[in-house]
Amino acid sequence: MKRTISVMIGKGCLNHNERKFHAKNTDPERTYLNQTYCNERIQNVYHELFDDAVKRYNAKQKRSDRCISDYYRKIRTGKQEKPFHEVIIQIGNKDNTGVLTENGKVAVSALNEYMEDFKKRNPYLRVFSAHLHMDEATPHLHIDFVPFTTGSKRGLDSRVSLKQALAAQGFKGGSRQDTEWNQWVDAEKQQLALVMERHGIEWEKLGTHEKHLSVLNFEKQEREKEVVRLDDQIGKQLTDLQRLDTKQKSLQAGIGQTEKSLEVVQKKLNRLQKQESLVNLNVDRYDTEKKWQLPEPGALMSARSYKIKIVEPFISKLKDIIRSIVAQYLRLKGKTDDLENQLASANERLGTLNASFDRMAQETLTLRRTLVDYKRIRRAFGEQQADRLLEQAKKEERSRNIFSKTRRIDR
C-alpha cells in the first residue's frame, strides 16, 4: 500500500503533548494508548548542555553585566534563537491510516522503529520530549529537541543554534528552497520511507509540502486562530481591568474624603448638643434659683411702689434674658439644621460611592477570573507561542486599522 509522509513544524506546546489538557480533536478515552519515549525538563537539558560553557564564558568577562546567569532564560526572552524546536511526523491521513484501523497499527509499528534511531542520526539535536499520539484521528509523533553546536569561536563555545547544529550533521544550505532545514527534512523522510518499506508501505509522494496539508495541521492552525482571538479579547479585558482599578482607587479616595467630612460634621453636632445642654441647664436655673423668683411685697408697701421698685425691674431683666436665649437658640438651630443637611448629603453621597464601589469590585473580580483563565492558556500553549500569537494579533489589528482609515480617506 502507498502512504504519504508528513513532516511538519510543530508549535512546541509541551503541555498539550503531555496531555495536561485536551484539545477538541483529542479523545481522552484513548489517551492511555499514547506512548512517551522521553519527557525531560528543558531547564535540566540546558544545564546539561551549556553550564560548563557558561562558566568558561563568564570567567573571561571583565564586566559583571556581561555575565550570563541563566542561559535558558536568555534564549527564551531573546529573539535570535528559539529555546527548542518541534517536528510532527505522520504517515498517511485520517482517511487511509486511522488510529483504530489495521493500517493505523502498521503505521504505529513503523513510527516506533523510526523513533528508535532518531537520536543516533541526530547527535546535535538533543531530544528531551517525544510522544506518539493515539488519541487523535491519525497516529503521529511529536519530537521536541534543543539544537546545539560546539567549538564556537565567539561567545559561548557551546550554544543554541539550529543552523549550526544541522551543518554539523552535514546539511549546509544553498538556495532559498534548499536550506539546511529542508535538506534535513528530506533526509528524515528518506529514513522513514526505508522503515515503511520494511513494514510493507510504499512512500507516495504528492509534491510540495504545502499541497499536502494534513487534517492534523489544519486543526492546529484553527486552534492557533482561536488563541489569537482569545489573546485579543484578554488584552481588551486587561485594559478594562486597569481602568476599573483606577476608578476603584478614585472611589476609595472619594469615600475616604466623605467619611472624613462625616466625622467633622458629627464632631460639630456633638459640640452643639453640649451647648444645647448648657442652655437647658441655664433655663432650669431660672425656675429654681431664688434670685430669679419674684419676691413677695412688704407689709407696708403699696401696690404702685411694689410695681415700680420690684416688678418692673424684674420683668425688664427677664425680657433681656429671654431675648438673649431666643437669639442663642436661633443661632444654634440654624447651625444644627445646616449640619444636619450636610450630614444627610454626605450620607447620600457615601451610599452612592459604596454602591459604585461594590459594582466595580464585582466587575474587577470577573476580570481577574478571566485573567486567571488567560494565564492558564499561556501555560497550556507555552509562553513563547502565546507571545508570538499575541504579537501576530496586534499586527493584524494595526493592519485593519490602517485599512479602515485608508477607506475613510478614499470616501
Q: What pLDDT does residue 211 have?
A: 39
* DSSP track, 101-156: SHHHHHHHHHHHHHHHTHHHH-TTEEEEEEEEE-SSSS-EEEEEEEEEEE--SSS-
What's this model's pTM, rounded to 2 decimal places? 0.53
> Residue-wise pLDDT tens for the chain (411 aa)?
899 999 999 888 898 889 888 888 899 999 999 999 999 999 999 999 999 999 999 999 999 889 999 999 999 988 889 999 999 999 999 999 999 999 999 999 999 999 999 999 999 999 999 999 999 999 999 999 999 999 988 889 999 999 999 999 999 877 777 889 999 999 999 999 999 999 999 999 875 444 334 444 555 556 555 655 665 666 666 666 667 667 667 666 766 676 676 677 667 667 766 666 665 555 555 556 666 566 666 666 677 776 777 777 777 777 777 777 777 777 777 777 777 777 777 777 777 777 777 777 787 778 778 777 777 777 777 777 777 777 777 777 777 777 666 655 555
Q: What pLDDT does residue 332 have?
A: 75
Q: How far apart are CA 112 and CA 99, in angstroms?
A: 14
Q: What pLDDT does residue 107 have?
A: 95
Beta bridge partners of 149: 159
What is the residue type of 78? G
* DSSP track, 48-77: HHHHHHHHHHHHH-SSGGGS-S-HHHHHHH
H/E element, 199? none
Residue pair 41/83 in contact by the 8 Å Cβ criterion = no
Q: What pLDDT does residue 210 have?
A: 41
Beta bridge partners of 85: 145
Q: How far apart are CA 4 and CA 210, in angstroms?
A: 13
Q: What pLDDT does residue 363 have?
A: 79
Q: How far apart are CA 218 and CA 311, in angstroms?
A: 113
Buried b (16+ CB within 10 A) or exposed e, 235-261: eebeeebeebeebbeebeebbeebeeb
